[in-house]
Amino acid sequence: QVQLVESGGGLVQAGGSLRLSCKSSSSIFGVILMGWYRQAPGMQRELVATITAGGSTNYADSVKGRFTISRDNTENSVSLQMNSLKPEDTATYYCTVRAIRLGTAWGQGTQVTVSS
């Protein structure tokens, strides 16, 4: 049903920046939150940042002050501005949407690689 299309991943040097974007294929009723998770090789998937429909945000301690999540409800999209990137940020980043009727939807993931 709902498709989440991600873009913006890539290779960047430590200290650099990337902006990830995720756009839903259609409007979603009763959105609870949109957000980003990531999974590094050999690691569990972890929360990076979330934002509610009302704009409240939540960040993992490891990215606070460096990453900023934002949303555009008109475009049904959510973005993640990543600054001061570290090699530890290297992971596959997954967009997620949770809504009352939809449940939880996930994007296919986009690779972020930060070199030393």
- SS3 call for 41: coil
Closest by alpha carbon to 110, among 97, 84, 91, 87? 91
- Among 24, 32, 33, 31, which residue's Cα sits nearest to residue 3? 24
**Of 12-16, 69-73, 110-114, where does mean pLDDT reach its minimum?**
69-73
Pick the more confident residue, 59 or 76: 59
| Rounded Cα gap, residues 38 and 108, in angstroms | 11
DSSP 62: T
Query: Percentage of the chain surpassing pLDDT 90?
Result: 84
Whether 29 shows a pLDDT value over 90: the answer reads no
pLDDT exceeds cutoff 80 at 75: no
Task: Evaluate the CA torsion angle 46, 26, 98, 49 in order and state its sign.
Answer: positive
86-90 mean pLDDT = 98
Task: Work out the average pLDDT over 37-65.
Answer: 96
